[in-house]
């Protein structure tokens, strides 16, 4: 059968068909693996509350509206606000953005590969990009970084105001997924503009194109402006969220970078040592390779840049900016969220069938080793880690044993006090418990890790006094072993309110929550 007979006649169709098929197979194979009360709950709860008419940032602590609106729409169409609806919503965004990434790679290499070679590279690219979607609900960040690369490719060398306007719209839409993406994309666009000014020396023409780009950004981000006008209280919440970010002075709680030389094979064993070293190499490569590529291309005349060179340059400009996010909290999750531009850079070098094969072996192998300790499916395949089964909204999930123990502990406590099932408080970071039960959390801050001032805590206490919970789940753990990040230290007024109004129940060793009852 020829490729024409199956509809693979050109680069876009190859990218769309191959990437969609592989991404769908990957999502269907992995959707039952893993569960997280904290970050997954932060995503799922937000989408679910939008279905109930609530507004992110105004009615509950949240990211920007994009991911919640997207998933709420999918959940609405499916008629399922449970875990399946939430995971399908993320999977559809994954299908769309992985397809864009594969298309970028194929267009960059199309002059060097035959149709069979393009099909092979499409498979390699789709598999590689999907392997790094970890955890699944962060695809709204991972996939959006791919869209930022696409934005730069759209405007590189183009003299079309319409094309620059469309690229600006893409940046505006990316900012709706997260203002950090809007900032990163704007900085990347500015760097590209400087590069073009140096190469073209036509400031007047670039100024006109830039104005079209800015207009596109405004149009793309306009849904947020519309909400500010039409939704009561949203403007105040939106502005307050910006000031909260500025006042915090950071986007994440920092961790030391796991450099490759900090791991001891004699202590960890070969597999875990390789896992740690591969992560450390990732933190080096995510900045080093883009800088090397920029240095290589900086002095090359503009007219001599090939389609491969253009993608390498665009991925490098985006990659050095997203490296900031990886280093802001240097763990595997944040490396995974920032690595898509680097993957596209590496894949763009696959200018032959042989090179594509070598690239796939190196990248896929390194990825599986790097992900082995944390990705549930890979940890079972590679490390043979044990799994337990839990039922969430009628769906069977395969989870690490400690997750099952957390859910069992909560269920036992609620079964002992049935009246509390519709009125409990879970702190500091377990919003998934509310999403499972489709309940509204009684306070605004659904994820309580950052210190808050006295006025904020007093407002939250006022909400609790209006409808006191029947039961409180509290994990007063020291995040990252830092005592100052215990809930009792970050939220002393709320913690004291719990002590004043509830009695702590006897706890067994290793139980994840302390339970307080009236």
pLDDT at position 7 is: 45
Q: Are residues 270 and 236 in the same domain?
A: yes
Peptide bond into 397 cis (omega under 30): no
The reply to whether 18 falls in a domain is yes
DSSP E strands, 442-496: 471-474
* Tokens encoding 115: 């149709």
Ramachandran assignment for 110, one of left (phi > 0), alpha (psi -120 to 50 degrees), beta (any other):
alpha
The reply to whether 5 falls in a domain is no
The reply to whether 1 falls in a domain is no
pLDDT at position 249 is: 58
Residue 231 CB contacts under 8 Å (≥ 6 apart), including other chains: 55, 58
Q: Are residues 422 and 353 in the same domain?
A: no
The reply to whether 235 falls in a domain is yes
Confidence of residue 327 (pLDDT cuts 50, 70, 90): very high
* Tokens encoding 442: 């009684």
Q: State yes or no: pLDDT of 122 exceeds 80.
A: yes
| 244-266 per-position pLDDT tens digit | 777 665 667 788 899 999 988 88
Q: Are residues 34 and 115 in the same domain?
A: yes
Q: Are residues 148 and 20 in the same domain?
A: yes
pLDDT at position 1 is: 37
pLDDT at position 201 is: 67
Name the residue range of residue 478's domain.
400-517
The mean pLDDT value of the chain amounts to 90
* Tokens encoding 413: 């406590």
pLDDT at position 496 is: 97
Q: Are residues 214 and 333 in the same domain?
A: yes
CB 355 within 8 A of CB 365: no
CA 518 from chain centre, in angstroms, equals 39
Higher pLDDT, 160 or 378: 160
Express as a percent the part of the chain with pLDDT over 70: 97
- In the listed set 378, 409, 441, which residue is the last one of a domain according to the structure? 378
For the chain, the domain total comes to 2
Three-class SS state of 504: strand
Q: Are residues 374 and 441 in the same domain?
A: no
Angle at Cα 181 formed by Cα 175 and Cα 184, nearest 5°? 125
Least confident of 8-12, 34-38, 488-492: 8-12
User: Which whole number is the average pLDDT over 177-198?
Assistant: 93
Q: Are residues 405 and 348 in the same domain?
A: no
Q: Are residues 356 and 494 in the same domain?
A: no
Least confident of 52-66, 112-126, 422-436, 475-489: 112-126
pLDDT at position 161 is: 93
* Tokens encoding 126: 């789709």
| 335-380 per-position pLDDT tens digit | 999 999 999 999 988 777 777 778 777 887 888 888 888 888 888 8
Query: Does an H or E element contain 425, and which?
Result: strand 424-427
The reply to whether 2 falls in a domain is no
Q: Are residues 368 and 248 in the same domain?
A: yes
The reply to whether 393 falls in a domain is no
The reply to whether 62 falls in a domain is yes
Q: Are residues 409 and 455 in the same domain?
A: yes
Confidence of residue 461 (pLDDT cuts 50, 70, 90): very high
DSSP bridge partners of 392: 395
d(CA 196, CA 3): 38
Q: Are residues 306 and 445 in the same domain?
A: no
| 23-46 per-position pLDDT tens digit | 999 999 999 999 999 999 999 999
Q: Are residues 372 and 405 in the same domain?
A: no
Q: Are strands 514-517 and 471-474 parallel, antiparallel or unpaired?
A: antiparallel
242-277 exposure pattern, b = at least 16 Cβ within 10 A, e = fewer: eeeeeeeeeeeeeeeebeeeebeeeeeeeeebbbbb
The reply to whether 389 falls in a domain is no
Query: In whole angstroms, how far apart are CA 108 and each of 62, 103, 119, 322, 344?
Result: 37, 8, 14, 21, 10
């Amino acid at each position: 059968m020829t490729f024409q007979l199956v509809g693979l006649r050109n680069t876009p169709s190859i990218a769309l068909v191959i990437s969609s098929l592989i991404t769908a197979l990957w999502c269907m194979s992995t959707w039952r693996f893993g569960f997280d009360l904290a970050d997954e709950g932060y995503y799922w709860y937000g989408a679910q509350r939008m279905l109930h008419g609530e507004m992110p940032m105004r009615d509950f602590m949240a990211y920007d509206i994009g991911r919640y609106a997207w998933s709420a729409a999918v959940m609405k169409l499916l008629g399922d606000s449970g875990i399946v609806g939430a995971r399908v919503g993320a999977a559809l965004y994954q299908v769309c953005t992985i397809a864009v990434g594969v298309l970028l790679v194929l267009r960059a290499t199309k002059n060097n590969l035959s149709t069979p070679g393009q099909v092979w590279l499409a498979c390699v690219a789709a598999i590689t990009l999907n392997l790094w979607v970890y955890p699944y609900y962060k695809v709204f960040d991972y996939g959006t970084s791919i869209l930022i690369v696409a934005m730069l490719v759209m405007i590189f060398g183009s003299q079309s105001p319409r094309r620059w306007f469309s690229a600006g719209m893409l940046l505006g839409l990316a900012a709706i997924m997260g203002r950090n993406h809007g900032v990163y994309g704007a900085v990347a666009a500015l760097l590209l503009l400087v590069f073009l000014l140096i190469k073209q020396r036509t400031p007047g023409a670039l100024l006109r194109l830039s104005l079209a780009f800015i207009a596109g950004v405004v149009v793309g981000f306009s849904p947020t402006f519309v909400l500010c006008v039409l939704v009561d209280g949203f403007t105040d919440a939106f502005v307050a969220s910006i000031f909260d970010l500025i006042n915090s002075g950071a986007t994440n709680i920092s961790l030391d970078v796991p450099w490759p030389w900090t791991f001891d094979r004699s202590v960890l064993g070969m597999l875990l040592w390789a896992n740690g070293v591969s992560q450390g190499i990732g933190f080096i490569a995510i900045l080093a390779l883009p800088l090397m590529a920029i240095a290589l291309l900086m002095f090359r005349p503009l007219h001599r840049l090939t389609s491969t060179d253009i993608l390498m340059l665009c991925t490098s400009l985006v990659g050095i900016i997203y490296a900031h996010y990886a280093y802001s909290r240097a763990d595997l999750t944040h490396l995974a969220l920032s690595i898509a531009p680097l993957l596209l850079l590496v894949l763009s070098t696959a200018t032959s069938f042989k090179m594509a094969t070598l690239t796939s072996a190196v990248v896929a192998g390194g990825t599986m080793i790097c992900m082995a300790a944390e990705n549930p499916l890979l940890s079972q395949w590679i490390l043979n880690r044990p799994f337990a089964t839990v039922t969430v909204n009628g769906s069977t999930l395969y989870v690490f044993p400690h997750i099952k123990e957390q859910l069992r502990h909560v269920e036992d406590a609620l079964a002992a006090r049935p009246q509390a099932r519709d009125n409990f408080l879970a702190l500091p970071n377990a919003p998934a418990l509310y999403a499972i039960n489709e309940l509204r959390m009684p306070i605004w801050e659904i994820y309580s890790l950052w210190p808050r001032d006295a006025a904020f805590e007093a407002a939250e206490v006022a909400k609790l006094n209006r409808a006191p919970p029947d039961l409180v789940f509290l994990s007063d753990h020291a995040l990252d072993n830092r005592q100052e990040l215990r809930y009792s230290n970050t939220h002393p007024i709320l913690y004291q309110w719990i002590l004043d109004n509830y009695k702590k129940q006897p706890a067994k060793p290793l139980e994840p929550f302390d339970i307080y009852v009236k």
